[in-house]
Amino acid sequence: MDQLADDVLVEVMQYVAVQDLLALRLACKRFRDLALHRDVWRLRRLKYDDPMVCTVLRLAPCLLKAHFQVPSGKCHMLYTTRCAVADLTLMVYEEGTMHAAFAIRNQEGLGRLRRVEVNFREWSQPGLPVLLGTLASTAGLICLDITGLFSFTSPSVGPLPAVHNPVSTASLKRFQCILQLETEPFCTSIISAHSSTLEVIILNVKWPVHSGRASSTLAPLLADVPNLRWLECPLLPGMEALAACETLRSVVLHVQAERIKPIPPIQEGLDFLRRATQLHRVHLYVCVPHLDHPGDVAVDLALALAASGKSRVRELTIRDEAKGEDDEFSLHPLLRALPSLPALRDLSVEGPPAQLLPGISPATAPALRMLEFQPYSQPMGCVHAWLHSDQVRDVLSSNPRLHIGLLIPADACENEDCQACSQGCHQDMWGYEQVGFFSHDPSKKCSQHDSDYQWYRLPL
């Protein structure tokens, strides 16, 4: 052992369990020092329920990732530890905002902190402005994710203040926060301070509580982010300005409205999608009751995407969450858009395959490789029956490189008279949530088969 160099022992110690590693400190002076070498710890992770959490925070020099709950009744080392963490996740419970602020400020002082995720878990969060101010002024962060704010904001809280002392040097590449009227001043402060470095911005509105129409200043601010490549947000007033963002490649749009809330700026969204010919990936999540807005908003947005005839979109996902059990499926209008989306490789929609499959051909969708159907309230029929259907075989015959994916809504066929299931084949299908069909030579390498689908080849 004496003949082994220190760097060799350090490399071996990286794979020793924490409890055994700390026990090695008692073996000899050399092991005592090497067991606490930074390279032994820099790739390790620590979670709040680890029985060694306090010991590690007291002795370890650094960690790659740490996940804690605050306030913590078990270990208070989080606020004073000299263990420098690169990636910190905090689950903030009631009365925990000040605890989180102290932990983040302590880690910033240690100089290793690059990623922070704060997930709020309770309704009441006094001291929230202090925590947000701490996050905004923390230097050197690359990634900042703030989730859960929708759980406790309310009209009585009022808008959260803008940050007046942001970092002096921009560093963030990714920023995520729930966008509401109450959080918009904070969001704009962060985006302004890190505009020169931001690449991914997620202003999520999937579960708005007291959201309204965003201000007209947010979209121009986003349009001025020079390296923006991924944007997730609601429809914004004036968002057609974002079409001029040359680096933007991926967009996730949430279109939501309720009778007690303003109608989203749908026209601005249509104008943006018509002009943004640089996009490669577009996901549309629509929840606009048709009593509030006539027409199929999801399809209108997809048609706008294809309107220029210059679209470079490779991946398109459409979800219309406003449809109810009595609504009829309508995928037919989408067929009109496909010839104007010549680069489209992956298409995911809701609804019955029977409406879309007959229109898929090398002429209408020359680049299409994956066609996914997700069911919602109305069933699409037995998935096993689709595997045996002439319609699926016909479309695969004319499109040999196409893959068809179906999400299974049940654990078994619900039709007792199903002819396909009566044959007794493919019984393993019902053990999966996603099944897919293809017809090409299975020996040929195919990237689609790396997905989570259970694939079945249909010999033609």
Average pLDDT (233-250) is 94
What Cα–Cα distance (Å) separates residue 206 from each residue in 40, 93, 231, 257?
41, 21, 14, 11
Q: Number of helices and strands (H, E) in the chain?
A: 16, 16
Return the C-alpha torsion angle 287, 290, 295, 299, nearest 10: 20
pLDDT for the residue 3: 74
How far is the C-alpha of 130 from the C-alpha of 99, rounded, in Å?
11
Alpha-carbon distance of 231 to 161, in angstroms, equals: 23
Q: Where a domain ends, among 41, 57, 72?
A: 41
Q: What are phi and psi of 275, to 5 degrees?
A: -90, -25
Q: Is residue 298 part of a domain?
A: no
72 confidence band (pLDDT: 50, 70, 90) = confident
Give tens-digit pLDDT for 322-346. 665 445 556 778 888 899 999 999 9
Residue 8 lies in a domain: yes
Q: pLDDT, tens digit, for every residue of 160-212?
A: 656 666 788 999 999 999 888 778 889 999 999 999 999 999 998 755 444 44
**pLDDT at res. 155:** 46
The structure tokens listed for 429 are 């299908």
- Cis peptide preceding 71, ω within 30 of 0: yes
Position 354, amino acid: A
- Whether residue 74 is contained in a domain is answered as no
Residue 114 counted as domain residue? no
Q: pLDDT band for position 427 (50/70/90)?
A: confident
Over the stretch 352-409, which tens digit does the pLDDT of each residue have?
788 889 999 999 999 999 999 886 544 566 778 888 888 999 999 999 999 999 887 6
Average pLDDT, the chain: 85
CA–CA–CA angle 48, 54, 57 (5° rounding): 95
User: How far apart are the two ends of the chain, measured CA to CA in Å?
Assistant: 64
At residue 26, the pLDDT reads 85
Assign residue 451 a region: left if phi > 0, alpha if psi is -120 to 50, beta otherwise? beta
Q: Which of 129, 136, 207, 213 is nearest to 175 (CA)?
A: 136
Residue 270 near residue 306, CB atoms below 8 Å? no
Residue 299 domain-assigned (yes or no):
no
What is the distance of C-alpha 377 from the center of its chain?
24
- Report which residue type is found at 36: L
Token digits for 431? 């053990």
Axis-axis angle for helices 297-306, 266-275 (nearest 10)? 30
Most confident of 39-43, 318-322, 356-360: 39-43
> Residue 450's domain spans which residues?
358-460
Could you give the CA distance from residue 434 to residue 130 in angstroms, rounded to a whole number?
Answer: 45
In a domain, 175, yes or no: no
Measured CA to CA, the distance from residue 411 to residue 431 in angstroms comes to 7
Number of domains in the chain: 2
C-alpha distances (whole Å) from 137 to each of 134, 146, 190 are 5, 15, 9
Q: Is residue 127 part of a domain?
A: no
Query: The domain that contains 29 carries what CATH number?
Result: 1.20.1280
Residue 19 lies in a domain: yes
